[in-house]
Structure 1
């Protein structure tokens, strides 16, 4: 690639690149919405232990993610730097995800270790796909605005794919039967979910890898072959990540991921118990996310055109993060309609649909800001390090389930939320305490996220200047190489 003449992508390539995030979206929704519910209420593992298992797996990610990112930056093959990892991950991710939702009969202690092992395996295998796949974005386009479009497509498919499984769960699989009077406790439904979702994950990975394979010829070549040890890997990783703007985004995405994970882990408990919505209302709630994803896809590029990336994220965040906890806070002060009131559902559902759309747009802009760090880092270190940067993104996104689910488990333990209880069996005092812990925690995490974004320093002009400097450097390197050949001759 010549930085002065950025390569642009076709619509089919954007769709293929974006469609690959269905794999992560399915896994993300499963871990975020259903894992704590399944293991904590259906299987019977204490909720705090479920959160602990996911948190421990997150600690393992802190080591595996940067290693995978670094390896994909330096991999040499006829299929480029990224695609070998993508192809190799498809089967292991699918099999381990199937096993997660179809556990054998084990004791409580054994079930904890089973969950812990599979959480680590799934996180590691998904890293071998998601980090190299996400790292394609800075190479597919170096254009400031087009990168946002690429990321918007990726988030659109990620949210749509994950939500499709949620719709299937509440519309078809988690239904009340004679054996399971409460639909969310239907163990057979979770088993079927494991089969369908593992197949969808496999298809998404393969379709995306094959659909972007033709673009390999446009990507950067790997660096010269050299001997690399673990010490070299982490030394160069820390050198690459030693950037103020990156640190600002890393902290911001970490806070945002924890907030999203907390929200996802408690979402259906809040809908069922706190708001008292019926199964059909929850089903419609999940359908509305498709509208949110489409709105997010459309408005993210518009926000960047109007405000730029940093200001766009702050603007979106202030609006979205004020809307999200507002209904809960109003309920705590007795300012919302009571459960069962016909006005309650339209009010809460409308607010959530708009809020989720704004959050999707925010994520698209935020992740494209990380892509703009690649050229600045290349100027500083002389290395293309897309994999290292997006490994950090993958890590923070997986913190969505790690720290978020851990926090959710703690909140449920603090309020002594009963396992396997029907709606009528949960006291009003317990529900009030649940909202009182939940809403302020969200506000605090999201406020920290917006503050961190304020320290990001790359705007449109800086990005274009970085591209020009790289073009100058590359022309100088070409001239020196030509002069060297002439001298030899």
Structure 2
């Protein structure tokens, strides 16, 4: 009788390991939230740089940093040390991440626009480069800690949950504690001193999260893959990178990521403008939306694996992202056609709060599944190339996300300039036609971007069955290699 092949790395992880792994994404969530929500409005409305100048600076920094991602991924895939392939980078990044993030929110006073422009570029490159040294090796652990199809989704659910918790916690603290009106500034989100205090608190939290995650997963190092002994030239490594990244399922995922991340970058960077000027919410009301997003993240954490088990990763991701997009654009469209509650209506806030829970929750769940799909590409690629490339795949995904999220932020700045949105604006004082044009250009742009991402995902073909078959073939090949080759000639399979 045929016996079922045992997959040595398809193991289930304990809750402490999942918690430690997930908690590290607090650092990324804080950084990403700060870049997405606050950076444009801080340097534009508070520091006085024109919106298009801020957008250009952010995009340049993101592009420069994005090219570092594949390098870090390739290096960590081939790194040999007594602490394995990933943890040395995670430990090394902790303090530089905190220091550079603190500098971002404390620009020198009295500098010219040109000097401030270059300061923003330089410091943004620093923080994003240092967080890359942590985030790429850390994210690669998802595919390395386990190869089990549904366990990966659970593990990445923890990562997304803590990423959202970290980002939302600092967002709420910023608006409710740091960015409060005072004698010199009547609008809390325009209070410069508050941003300085926010930067200090955020930097401390990022340092703590990185160290907790690195220490908390340190015991897993003996179970992780060991990089093979090799002396490959730079040309060889470059050819291997290109060969690995030409994997067909991965190319479809990256094509979808281009449009999905552009939409996310646009939506996040323009969100505070909508809440402040389109819906005219107060800073304390805007802060309460963090609870909507937190609820959404918890629901996504609870439901991602169940949805994947029932419907599969690809169809679930497609449906969730599409419905999330519809619910995001619906209030804007209804307001534009005059059938949505007016600003100041007692039902406006609870209505948008509820819609936010649903739309954000669906979007987070869809993105959890997309990340899990990237992890599943690792074995498909290994079967074709003979190389384990977790770091490279997650680095390439980060490369695309960072680069095109930067485009999304830049697009938001261009849209603001195109509709004539004024610098130094105050809620209720912006011309009605400008506010209306904000909705007219943003809603269809988001719909096109998200819709294109969903369409491209139809080309991804890895399923539960095909992934299990890849694992069986790899295990069989490893068993044959162990019988016919001397020990130490290849990296370990368990």
Q: TM-score, normalised by structure 2?
A: 0.95
Q: Unaligned 5+ residue runs, structure 2?
A: 1-5, 490-494
Contact persistence 2:313–2:373 (CA under 8 A): yes
Give the alignment of 1:86-125 within 5 angstroms.
86-105=90-109, 106-125=111-130
Counterpart-to-counterpart distance in 1, 2:22 and 2:83: 20
User: 1:323, CA displacement in angstroms?
Assistant: 0.7
User: 1:36, CA displacement in angstroms?
Assistant: 0.1
Closer, same or farther in 2 for the Cα pair 1:283/1:233, shift >3 Å?
A: same
SS at match of 1:135: helix
User: 1:120, CA displacement in angstroms?
Assistant: 1.2
Which residue of structure 1 aligns with residue 335 of structure 2? 331
Give the alignment of 1:371-390 within 5 angstroms.
371-390=375-394
User: 1:41, CA displacement in angstroms?
Assistant: 0.6
Superimposed CA distance per residue, residues 80-115 of structure 1 (whole angstroms, 9 cap, x where no aligned partner): 000001011111111111000001121100000000
Superimposed CA distance per residue, residues 243-270 of structure 1 (whole angstroms, 9 cap, x where no aligned partner): 1110111111221111111111011110
Whether 1:481 and 2:485 are equivalent positions in the alignment is yes
Give the alignment of 1:32-431 within 5 angstroms.
32-105=36-109, 106-229=111-234, 231-399=235-403, 401-431=405-435
SS at match of 1:425: coil
Superimposed CA distance per residue, residues 103-134 of structure 1 (whole angstroms, 9 cap, x where no aligned partner): 11211000000000111111111111100000
Whether 1:461 and 2:465 are equivalent positions in the alignment is yes
Closer, same or farther in 2 for the Cα pair 1:27/1:484, shift >3 Å?
A: closer
User: 1:400, CA displacement in angstroms?
Assistant: 6.0
SS at match of 1:223: coil
SS at match of 1:112: helix
User: 1:412, CA displacement in angstroms?
Assistant: 0.8
User: 1:483, CA displacement in angstroms?
Assistant: 11
Closer, same or farther in 2 for the Cα pair 1:350/1:435, shift >3 Å?
A: same
User: 1:343, CA displacement in angstroms?
Assistant: 1.6
Contact persistence 2:95–2:207 (CA under 8 A): yes
SS at match of 1:360: helix
Give the alignment of 1:2-21 within 5 angstroms.
3-4=7-8, 6-21=10-25
User: 1:4, CA displacement in angstroms?
Assistant: 4.7
Counterpart-to-counterpart distance in 2, 1:483 and 1:378: 20
Contact persistence 2:153–2:305 (CA under 8 A): yes
Deviates more, 1:122-131 or 1:65-74: 122-131
SS at match of 2:428: helix
User: 1:276, CA displacement in angstroms?
Assistant: 1.2
Counterpart-to-counterpart distance in 2, 1:109 and 1:5: 53
Whether 1:444 and 2:448 are equivalent positions in the alignment is yes
Counterpart-to-counterpart distance in 1, 2:446 and 2:403: 15
Counterpart-to-counterpart distance in 1, 2:423 and 2:399: 30
Deviant stretches of 4+, over 4 Å: 482-485
Contact persistence 2:9–2:148 (CA under 8 A): no
SS at match of 1:352: helix
Superimposed CA distance per residue, residues 463-486 of structure 1 (whole angstroms, 9 cap, x where no aligned partner): 00000000110011011126999x
Contact persistence 1:4–1:468 (CA under 8 A): no
Contact persistence 2:67–2:399 (CA under 8 A): no
Deviates more, 1:137-146 or 1:392-401: 392-401
Contact persistence 1:248–1:455 (CA under 8 A): yes
Q: TM-score, normalised by structure 1?
A: 0.96
Closer, same or farther in 2 for the Cα pair 1:376/1:271, shift >3 Å?
A: same
Closer, same or farther in 2 for the Cα pair 1:464/1:433, shift >3 Å?
A: same
Counterpart-to-counterpart distance in 2, 1:402 and 1:234: 25
Counterpart-to-counterpart distance in 2, 1:124 and 1:482: 40
